[in-house]
Amino acid sequence: MTTIAVIPGDGIGPEVTAPALDVLDALGLGVRTDVLDHVNADTYLRTGHALSEADLDRIRPCRATLLGAVGDPRLGDTAYVRSILTTLRVELDLYVNYRPAKLWHDRLSPLRDAARRAIDCVIVRENTEGLYSGIGGSTRTGTAHEVAMDVDLSTQHGVARVLDYAFSVARTSVCLVDKANAVRNGGQLWQRCWHEALARHPHIATSHLYVDAAAMRIATDPTAFDVIVTNNSYGDILSDLTAALAGGLGVAASANLNPATGQGLFEPVHGSAPDIAGTGAANPFGAILSVALLAEHLGRADAADAVRRAVAAAVAEGHVTRDLGGTLGTKEAGAAVLAELERP
Ligand code: NAD
Ligand code: IPM
Ligand code: MN
């Protein structure tokens, strides 16, 4: 039987994971879950570690992991959040971060121009390199002469494989987003790999934008994009932007994938939202739609479609949390999706 590892995490993480697991259960995919509910900030504060080797040994054999969110205001973010998220992405070599953004309902778009609201694109974010490499250091730390350095790592292998993945999921076009006009060495490598990828995929329309211009274009006309492929940090930033244009962070889902090993980590794009944690206001749709991506990963595109249809119906009916203009709490919004799923 397929085992799914589950890390509810911190803040709203466990709150949105609960309804997401109810949906997973209702899909009847014949999977069992292995819940690692100790992988959180409390454990880190107590022991100095959150994700142990023993935890990784439980996760490695799983085809998929479902993660709520991690992050806690009691902790400096870098070490703690990295020790879970970046560790999982790097240890499992999940080099693709697949972040789809499709407008769920016209009323959810912040755009004035009705003709440009229907965003339906995917950010393919390189997920194991870039500024997240962990290479760097600081010297004379804490003094007026401090020097700090974080290496923006790009490798031929890492760039070529994520570009190929972007082409493999493109419906109409792929747009490369980089900053090759300012970032010399990495820029050159991305550009060389891009031109080599264009030769391997001659039948798909392509374009290239510098990241500043891309942000402007996405904000003014997101309908111009199908697949956007970019590095780790630009992908992080632009995927919050595309999420905002598709209905908000509360509905954004993501998959961290290694298409070669078949492993995946599925999580909403949002974080632990300490500002609303414990209030019952968190939108569970991002986590629920991450379960849809997980089902698709397990070869059940039918189940994934059923979840998306159920979410679309709940949105259309106004059975939504406050961030989407509704009045429901997390549990009620989750129940609304379940009711739609179970409708004959
Ligand atoms: P965040 O995504 O947690 O929150 C940003 C804003 O969006 C907040 O106002 C929040 O209330 C709102 N929001 C987020 N998810 C929501 C939901 N489901 N329903 C309704 N509103 C929602 O980002 P942040 O505040 O920058 O980060 C908080 C913590 O989460 C930090 O520790 C950060 O490092 C961490 N983080 C973790 C992940 C992850 O686990 N994948 C992702 C992003 C941030
Ligand atoms: C995300 C998050 C993480 C990232 C943080 C929490 C390290 O923002 O998954 O988008 O930047 O990758
Ligand atoms: Mn992010």
121 and 231 both lie in a single domain: yes
Percent above pLDDT 70 for the chain? 100
Structure confidence at residue 122 (pLDDT): 98
Q: Which domain holds residue 80?
A: 1-96+250-344
Which pLDDT tens digit goes with each residue over 84-120?
Answer: 999 999 999 999 999 999 999 999 999 999 999 999 9
Domain C-terminal end among 196, 221, 245: 245
Domain containing 156 — which CATH number? 3.40.718.10
Q: β-strands 253-258, 263-268: how paired?
A: antiparallel
**What pLDDT is attached to residue 77?**
66
The response to whether residue 267 sits with its C-beta less than 6 Å from ligand 1 reads yes
**Do 145 and 221 sit in the same domain of this protein?**
yes
Query: In 220-325, where do the E strands start and end?
Result: 227-230, 253-258, 263-268
Q: Are 44 and 74 in contact (CB under 8 A)?
A: no
75, 41 in Cβ contact below 8 A?
Answer: yes
In terms of domains, do 285 and 165 share one? no
Q: Map residue 130 onto helix, strand or coil.
A: strand
Q: Does 92 lie in the same domain as 3?
A: yes
Whether 102 maps to a domain, the answer reads no
Q: For the segment 231-248, what is each residue's pLDDT rounded down to a tens digit? A: 999 999 999 999 999 999
In a domain, 101, yes or no: no
CA of 238 to the centre of ligand 2 (A): 12
pTM above 0.85, yes or no: yes
Quick: pLDDT tens for 252-299. Answer: 999 999 999 999 999 999 999 999 999 999 999 999 999 999 999 999
List pocket residues of ligand 2, CB cut-off 6 Å: 81, 85, 236, 269, 271
Query: Which residues keep their CB under 5 angstroms from ion ligand 3?
Result: 236
Instruction: With CA atoms as reference, report the closest residue to 153 among 172, 117, 113, 126.
Output: 126
Q: What is the pLDDT of residues 69-89, one digit of tens each?
A: 999 999 976 899 999 999 999
Q: Which amino acid is at 105?
A: H
